[in-house]
Amino acid sequence: MRQIVTTATGNIDVLNVEEKPDPTPAADQVVIRVRAAGLNFADILSRQGLYPDSPPKPCVMGYEVSGVVEAVGKDVNSSFAGKSVVAMTRFGGQSEMVAVKATQMFEKPERLTFEEAAAIPVNYLTAYALLVVMGSLHAGESVLIHNAGGGVGLAALEIAKKIGAVTYGTASQRKHKFLTERGLNHAIDYRNEDWLPVLQQLTNGRGVDLVIDPIGGAHWKKSYAALRHTGRLGMFGVSTASANGFTGKLKMLKAAIQTPWFHPFRLLNKNRGVFGLNLGHMWHEPEKVAVWMRDILRGVEEEWINPHVDQAFSFAEVGKAHRYLEERKNIGKVVLVPGA
């Protein structure tokens, strides 16, 4: 089988497609023949040497796949063989075949293509944990979704709409039309105007009930300032640091230095909450994540969850796919397909 290997830290030329032996399932695993694998921002940060959770290089990234079960381990129900599934993979997903614990696999909703199904786990579980589980977003409340045009952003928009919240989103201007068509109430062009005064104006100076912020560093302080009373800030990424080489290291250092501290007394007197989320640190809680995933898949069946795949790149085009994300060209998800 072929895999996408990040051979070292560096530019896109460190990405190779390599032949490896086919995997065999352990007792509690299945082997999936991958039809589509999600590409995530974490894969870019890993290649840039800025992702602490990355396996040591050379490594095969990939947190999620869709495909068909080809082999089952001895402790797994054999009726899974031949089923179309979607699964969370603790790396290694960007392969033609992957072995994964059966508990991390779910039946693929029939109405989704393999590419759409591969867009579900990371984006929707992250958005669900941020909005529903930790952010406790309620009908009639308001949410500011930063980078609303990204994979997590679009997922958050669908969930917020279902909850019945008023939605504000920051995104590059060219993504606004699409976002408005997907139901975003207020799009803010944060790259050409200072989003905080615009948000304050839109909310009559009150701010919002929930902000989800993947940008990090000093930006978290600004997002905190956008909260109204009983508002919550969910922090879940440091995309501000994304850059190749020494620049990336410097940006990460700057983000670390500018990261705010939240004093309990200030939180108490302002009626605010702050929380962090790292989905990659939830592998020891499979039952919890499975409950979220089943809710999300129910949303697919009910047709209020409709993952949007911007583009599918073949494994051979993985460098192009990385560049596409780094250049912020994507609206929604980018997936990798094995191809010829």
Ligand X SMILES: NC(=O)c1ccc[n+]([C@@H]2O[C@H](COP(=O)([O-])OP(=O)(O)OC[C@H]3O[C@@H](n4cnc5c(N)ncnc54)[C@H](OP(=O)(O)O)[C@@H]3O)[C@@H](O)[C@H]2O)c1
Task: Tell me the closest approach of the beta carbon of residue 151 to ligand X, in angstroms.
Answer: 4
- Return d(Cα 298, Cα 281) in angstroms, integer: 24
Task: Tell me the closest approach of the beta carbon of residue 243 to ligand X, in angstroms.
Answer: 7
Residue with smaller CB distance to ligand X, 41 or 106: 41
Task: Tell me the closest approach of the beta carbon of residue 226 to ligand X, in angstroms.
Answer: 17
Judged by phi (left if over 0) then psi (alpha if -120 to 50, else beta), residue 217 lies in: left
Residue with smaller CB distance to ligand X, 62 or 153: 153
Tokens of 313: 């790149």
Residue with smaller CB distance to ligand X, 11 or 271: 11
- Return d(Cα 196, Cα 185) in angstroms, integer: 16
* CB distance 190 to 164 below 8 Å: no
Residue with smaller CB distance to ligand X, 181 or 302: 181
Residue with smaller CB distance to ligand X, 94 or 330: 330
Residue with smaller CB distance to ligand X, 76 or 215: 215
Residues of this chain that interact with ligand X (CB under 6 A) are: 40-42, 122-123, 126, 147, 149-153, 171-172, 175, 191, 214-215, 236-237, 239-240, 242, 277-280, 325-326, 328, 330
The terminus-to-terminus CA distance of the chain in angstroms comes to 12
Residue appearing with tokens 């797994």: 76
User: How many residues are recorded in the chain?
Assistant: 340
* CB distance 64 to 122 below 8 Å: yes
Task: Tell me the closest approach of the beta carbon of residue 340 to ligand X, in angstroms.
Answer: 26
Give the 3-state secondary structure of residue 167: strand
Pairing mode, if any, of strands 227-235 and 208-213? parallel
Task: Tell me the closest approach of the beta carbon of residue 281 to ligand X, in angstroms.
Answer: 8
10 Å CB burial of residue 108 (0-12, 13-18, 19+) is buried
Task: Tell me the closest approach of the beta carbon of residue 147 to ligand X, in angstroms.
Answer: 3
